Chains A and B, each alone.
Chain A
Amino acid sequence: AQSVSQHNHHVILSEAASLELGCNYSYGGTVNLFWYVQYPGQHLQLLLKYFSGDPLVKGIKGFEAEFIKSKFSFNLRKPSVQWSDTAEYFCAVTDRGGNKLVFGAGTILRVKS
């Protein structure tokens, strides 16, 4: 069965600091990869996705992620975080044949102003 690991459960950063959130998945086949964000009191929103092609994908709000197939990783990055990025971030994967999302445990990011 697929599994997704997110390495940090809580991250605290100051504004303008750089962010990298780790995500590794276990499935060895072809996958679709996603990062979702949940702002306080709001629902899950898609930040970015990777299906194929350029392994460096850009999403909304200045976020990007890099798919490294050899490392089974899909880390999320942002060069300079803002207070408004305070939220919980979820990495998720589906295999190409299926349609269920398998989520990581989530990383709670708090940005101090």
Chain B
Amino acid sequence: EPEVTQTPSHQVTQMGQEVILRCVPISNHLYFYWYRQILGQKVEFLVSFYNNEISEKSEIFDDQFSVERPDGSNFTLKIRSTKLEDSAMYFCASSWRNEQFFGPGTRLTVL
């Protein structure tokens, strides 16, 4: 059964550094998403992406964040200058007929 995959599973970075989180959505899906979950808090929507552009973004998704689909398979989330409060689990999802399928997540730790 096809799955959403994410790499790396764990990323440790220094504050102020750029990170890129990678996702490979399910191949025939058209909508892609990033969510995050800070430890002990709710899963929060960051951004949705359709037809090579952002379709919706949350207040969290400020100028430090960007998304890209650089080729036909990858979907990336870039954080330009990480802050301590960016430490969280980041989930990628893709959807088909209003059902979202999630990847295993990348745990980002900012020191």
Which A residues are within 8 Å of any B CB, using their own CB? 32, 36, 42-46, 49, 51, 90, 92, 94, 98-106
Chain B residue at smallest Cβ distance from A96:
B98
Inter-chain CA distance A32–B99, complex, in Å, is: 10
B75 at the interface (CB under 8 A from A): no
Q: Does the CB pair B42–A103 fall under 8 Å?
A: yes
Most A-side CB within 10 Å, residue of B33, B42, B48: B42
List B contacts of A46 (CB < 8 A): 99-101
Binding site for A on B (CB under 8 A): 31, 33, 35, 41-45, 48, 55-56, 58, 91, 93, 95, 98-105
* B residues less than 8 Å from A92 (CB atoms): 43
Q: Which of B45, B48, B99 has the most CB of A within 10 A?
A: B45
Kindly provide the distance from the CB of B96 to the nearest chain A CB, expressed in whole angstroms. Answer: 11
* Nearest chain A CB to B52 CB, angstrom units: 16
A-B pairs with CB below 8 Å: how many? 49
Given the known A-B contacts A42-B104, A43-B105, are A100 and B33 also in contact in the complex, defined by CB atoms under 8 Å? yes
Q: What is the distance, in angstroms, from A84's C-beta to the closest C-beta of chain B?
A: 19
| Measured CA separation A32–B35 after assembly (Å) | 18
Neighbour of B56 across the interface among A49, A90, A98, CB < 8 A: A98
B-chain residues with CB within 8 Å of residue A44 when the two chains form the complex: 43, 91, 102
- State whether A51 touches B98 (Cβ < 8 A): yes
**B43 and chain A: residue at smallest CB distance:** A103
**Residues of A contacting B58 with CB < 8 Å?**
100
* Contact between chains at B55 and A99 (CB < 8 Å): yes
* CA–CA, A32 and B95, complex, Å: 14
| A43, B56: Cβ atoms closer than 8 Å | no
What chain B residues lie within 8 Å of A100 (beta carbons)?
33, 45, 48, 56, 58
* A61 smallest CB distance to B (angstroms): 16
A101–B35 contact, CB under 8 A?
Answer: yes
CA A81 to CA B33, docked complex, whole Å: 32
- For A32, list chain B residues within 8 Å (CB): 98
A102 / chain B contacts, CB cutoff of 8 Å: 45
CA distance A104 to B55 in the complex (A): 23
